[in-house]
Amino acid sequence: MKLKKFFLRSNILSAKYLILSFLIICPNISFGLTLMNSVQEAYLSNPKLNAERANVKAASFDKKSALSEFKPSITVSGYISQQDNEKGSESNFKPSEQSILIEQKIFQGFGGLANLKKENYDYQISKFNLKKIEQEILLSAIDAHTNVLLSMEKININSLNVDLLEKQVETDQARLETGEITLTDLSQSEASLAGARAKLISAENDLIISKSNYEKIVGKVLSSEIIEIGEINLSLPNSLLEAYRISKEENPDLKIAFLENEKAKEEVNIARSDLAPSATLSYKLSEQDDVSTTVKERKQQTLKATATWPLYSGGSNISSLKKSKEIKNQKELLLIDANKSVNTSVANAWTNFQLTESVLNSIRLQVKASEIANEGITLEYESGTSRSTLEVIQSNGILLSSRIDLAVSKRNFLISKFNLLSAIGRLTADQLGLKN
């Protein structure tokens, strides 16, 4: 007996070590694809999202280049030439010059400062555009993943229905032979089976389409099984007022409209600076060799202050200023419209979230009632009571429809949560805990 226990314990330990060794040797093996796996893949690989990341980097360089307006410029230059004198007393010589010029802008009518602020706004806008695209891609990936799951669920439900109807047809054929039912009853069962098979084929085609769309959005072929979605902890607002408050601070569309308005104000200042005076200070050090027959070498140092004031340039400056003011008015109106649009989106998302939850709870009750009714009607029919074949078929149809409605409602409720997160501006990689 002790020997038997020893061998049993040894086999258990060997199995544990075998599983552990397998996981160590094959750490990347996938036992199923979760929703967050799909979202992570889309976040890292989607080309549209990566293109927007590149745009943010480009905008950061524009921001840095705007600082150059406040820094001195240093230019080194030189030349060498050949002069041949055929007449006169001068001989041939090779004049040359080497110089360094340092220039510093002192005053630009505040155009430089306005341009720096404008480029900073452009950089902030690019970051919020990235957030906007990120939310769109993540939501698309979630939609694609849940569509695949829904299509698979529909196939399972329709397959069970086909199996059930096949058994019913077999039962009805036997009952027809004993004279319990008529040929009409059997035909009704066979027609119902044919319809169920057609629905199964349609569900299988929907799965092919869903997988194709998944590969397009996520950028990955479905090589492993998709795991059923469990509970997901999302930081959802507790009320509509809280949703409004969060959206004011985090919604990318609203932030972009606000920054576009601020940027338009700085563009007015830039256009106005074109009408203002400017001042520049420069220092030049040059060395000249072989200047002439009498001057072989010369050094010069020049310190110069220059002031300019454009009085008239054909009206282009005035036109540019008027244009920038009109654009500023446009951006102000767009900001007002963005506020209204975001409020409407948040309200719709919140209402849809509440509605889908209520619908889901109702359909769950409907499925339970349909299951009880179908079981009772089927038992009564098989026991040879007054239940007809048509009643059984109708009961099966109601149960099938309610189960599919339940699968659709579960998906819609989940999507409504992510839609609400997107509306308030929190459907981001940070909020979902994705890895960069």
Instruction: For the beta carbon of residue 87, count every other beta carbon within 10 angstroms.
Output: 5
Beta bridge partners of 348: none
Which secondary-structure segment (H or E) carries 415?
helix 389-424
What residue ranges define each of the domains in the chain, with the CATH number in brackets? Answer: 29-71+110-275+320-429 (1.20.1600.10), 73-107+278-309 (2.20.200)
Q: Which residues fall within 8 angstroms of residue 353, CB to CB, at 6 or more apart?
A: 236, 413, 416, 417, 419, 420
Q: Judge whether 142 and 218 are in contact, CB under 8 Å.
A: no
Give the Cα separation of 70 and 73 in Å (integer). 9
Please report the sign of the dihedral spanned by the C-alpha atoms of residue 223, residue 226, residue 232, residue 234: positive
Q: Which residues fall within 8 angstroms of residue 289, CB to CB, at 6 or more apart?
A: 95, 96, 97, 296, 297
Give the Cα separation of 175 and 192 in Å (integer). 17
Give the Cα separation of 332 and 338 in Å (integer). 10
Q: One digit per residue, pLDDT tens: the chain, 436 residues?
A: 444 443 444 444 344 333 333 333 333 334 478 899 999 999 998 999 999 999 999 998 887 777 777 788 888 888 787 766 665 555 666 777 788 888 888 777 777 788 888 989 999 999 999 999 999 999 999 999 999 999 999 999 999 999 988 998 998 898 888 888 888 888 988 999 999 999 999 999 999 999 999 999 988 888 767 888 877 888 899 999 999 999 999 999 999 999 999 999 999 988 888 887 888 888 888 887 766 656 667 788 888 888 888 877 777 788 888 999 999 999 999 999 999 999 999 999 999 999 999 999 999 999 999 999 999 988 888 787 678 888 888 888 899 999 999 999 999 999 999 999 999 999 999 999 887 6
